[in-house]
Amino acid sequence: PAGGSRLIVPINVNPGTLPRMTWGAWVRTDNTGSGLRKVMGHDNGGWDRTIGMDNRNGPIRYTSFVGNRRPVVGPPGPANTTDWTFFAATYDNFAN
């Protein structure tokens, strides 16, 4: 549902606790317009790990935020509001 519905899961995904992890989600956006949308994430002030959608530097596309570093972005993004897409991110804190 629109309006910021969320599910909170008691799993600590901080890089110090889970230095290596992969997560993903099936998503279908309600619109392909401007915005920064978080699908899954953990934030204790530094955007530790987040996957979502971002259009700040062009068309909307899938992205992964990693701490205070630049987000990993790239095409493709959602083409429409009817199709479901699975996307995932793998983090390896030891590979910095």
pLDDT of residue 45: 67
**What pTM did the predictor assign?**
0.74
The total domain count for the chain is 1
- Among residues 62, 66, 54, the alpha carbon closest in space to that of 95 is found at 66
pLDDT digits (tens, 9 = 90+) for 9-22: 888 888 888 889 99
pLDDT of residue 1: 46
Beta bridge partners of 83: none
Residue 80 structural domain: 20-91
- Between CA 8 and CA 6 the distance in angstroms is 7
pLDDT digits (tens, 9 = 90+) for 49-93: 888 888 877 788 888 887 767 777 776 788 788 889 888 888 888
Contacts of 71 (CB under 8 A, 6+ apart): 54, 63, 64, 65
Tokens matching residue 55: 């259009």
* Domain presence at residue 6: no
* Domain presence at residue 4: no
Size (the chain), residues: 96
